[in-house]
Amino acid sequence: MQILILLAYILLLSAFLGFELISKVPSALHTPLMSGANAISGITLLGAMIAAGMNGSWQMRLLAFFAVIFATVNIVGGYLVTHRMLKMFTKKEEV
């Protein structure tokens, strides 16, 4: 029970810290940070795929499957948003 409380405390602390850090980022740095977050999500996806391939209980494999799905959605969405933001900075061709 104590480990569960410790893990919940770490989760809440990391969520608060992440919110505070992201809210103070200037707009000019958003796109590079988004690319870095996509790289971290790639590492998360790799870990989730390793966990999904391990021999374990069906609950662990189910959680690993959902982790693969969520990390993939995060990566694809992040790259689409980054691409769209970078398109805003390109000059349009005159016809």
How does pLDDT run across 70-91, given as a tens digit for each residue? 999 988 888 888 788 778 777 7
* End-to-end CA separation in angstroms for the chain: 67
- 6: amino acid identity, one letter: L
Quick check: is 3 in a domain?
Answer: no
User: Residue by residue, what is the 3-state secondary structure of the chain?
Assistant: CHHHHHHHHHHHHHHHHHHHHHHCCCHHHHHHHHHHHHHHHHHHHHHHHHHHHCCCCHHHHHHHHHHHHHHHHHHHHHHHHHHHHHHCCCCCCCC
Provide the whole-model pTM.
0.62
Task: Report the b/e string of 18-57 with b at 16+ CB within 10 A.
Answer: eeeeeeeeeeeeebeeeeeebeebeebbeebeebbeeeee
Quick check: is 74 in a domain?
Answer: yes
Quick check: is 20 in a domain?
Answer: no
pLDDT tens for residues 31-70? 677 777 777 888 889 998 998 888 888 888 899 999 999 9
- Residue-averaged pLDDT of the chain: 84
- 35: amino acid identity, one letter: S
Quick check: is 31 in a domain?
Answer: yes
Domain interval for residue 81: 27-87
Q: Residue 13's pLDDT band (boundaries 50, 70, 90)?
A: very high
Quick check: is 92 in a domain?
Answer: no
